[in-house]
Amino acid sequence: MRQSWYRIRNKTTYGGVEIYGSAEIYLYDEIGAWGVSASDFVRELRALTADNIDLHLNSPGGDVFDGIAIYNALREHPAKVNVYIDALAASAASLIVQAGDTRTIAKTAALMIHEPYGAAMGDSAVMLKMAEELDMIGDTIAEIYADRAGGKTAEWRDRMGEETWYRGQQAVDAGLADAVAEKPTSNAIPQRVFNLARFKHVPSDVLASCAQNAGRTMNQSNLDRLHAALGALDGVHEGTCDMGEECPMDAAVAKAEGVQDEHYVDDVIAAIAGGLRAARMEILA
């Protein structure tokens, strides 16, 4: 597990008296296998014995099931959980926000809700099953918003269907946050840059913020390795896929091409290699 995404300050003493302090968690990453997995997060969370947990978020979301698992783990923890949206809480990350006993959003931060995405390959029965599962997951997500913000599940599904973005005070007005931060928080780790191409209605100021922070580049050797792996994947994909414009591969490749952090390169290439192995086994079968 990478150690850069969180900092913990736990039990302390003052004047010889034991005082239960606070724990700080900085979740500045995607949710799921390519970022912060639920298994890693929950294992670390259960080890905390503090009375207060301050969770700082800057995340574009990710795997919805990991997001729900993290949400439930935070709700079940005996500590008071204070959630701070430092920059972005989109998709699954917006669910995690709702686990907070208090929810504070920076004035310039953004929160986004949308319908869950999924991909499937198969006949009409497989596609219908995927649609049913996505609809069920959508209801679960909408219920979480309704529980904290009020309103009906159907109303939240409508907002999700529109991919609704909320800036600071707008999130408070919608009931998805409790307060706007009076001043920016002091970040414990560097600001992350995310590829938001998979979203349809990203506000121009959010895109501009991403562009301003997109100064990190990887060295040429790692860039060549990444492009070679993507080329191999594209070759297998072209020879096996019959989904046409419905295929999610283009979006996935665009996301991989947008990777800028050096420490992600090996993870991305390993994931591509795993996909190639699975594809070749399918061809041989």
Distance CA 150, CA 64 (A): 21
Neighbours of 24 (CB within 10 A): 19
The overall average pLDDT reported for the chain is: 77
Selection from 233, 247, 240 nearest residue 276 by Cα = 233
Share of the chain above pLDDT 90, in %: 39
pLDDT at position 247 over 60? no
**Which residue do the tokens 């283009």 mark?**
250
pLDDT of residue 82: 96
**52 compared with 275, residue with greater pLDDT:** 52
Which range has highest mean pLDDT (138-142, 213-217, 249-253)?
138-142
What contacts 54, CB < 8 A, 6 or more positions away?
Answer: 22, 23, 24, 25, 82, 84
Q: How does pLDDT run across 186-230, given as a tens digit for each residue?
A: 554 555 666 677 787 777 777 666 655 544 444 556 556 666 776
H, E, C per residue of the chain: CCCCCCCCCCCEEECCEEECCEEEEEECCCECCCCECHHHHHHHHHCCCCCEEEEEEEECCECHHHHHHHHHHHHHCCCEEEEEEEEEEECHHHHHHCCCCEEEECCCCEEEECCCCCCCCCCHHHHHHHHHHHHHHHHHHHHHHHHHHCCCHHHHHHHHHCCEEEEHHHHHHHCCCCEECCCCCCCCCCCCCCCCCCCCCCCHHHHHHHHHHCCCCCCHHHHHHHHHHHHHHHHHHHHHCCCHHHCCHHHHHHHHHCCCCHHHHHHHHHHHHHHHHHHHHHHHC
Give φ, ψ of 158 to 5 degrees.
-60, -45
5: Cα separation from own chain's centroid: 13
Query: What is the band of 263 on the pLDDT scale with cuts at 50, 70, 90?
Result: low
User: Going from the N-terminus, what domains does the chain have, and what CATH number goes with each?
Assistant: 12-213 (3.90.226.10), 220-284 (no CATH)
Query: What is the band of 256 on the pLDDT scale with cuts at 50, 70, 90?
Result: low
**Least confident residue range of 141-145, 167-171, 264-268:** 264-268
Q: How does pLDDT run across 50-92, given as a tens digit for each residue?
A: 889 999 999 999 999 999 999 999 999 999 999 999 989 999 9
pLDDT at position 26 over 80? yes
pLDDT of residue 80: 94
- The answer to pTM > 0.85 is no
Residue type at position 221: S
* Cβ neighbourhood burial of 17 (10 Å; 0-12, 13-18, 19+): exposed
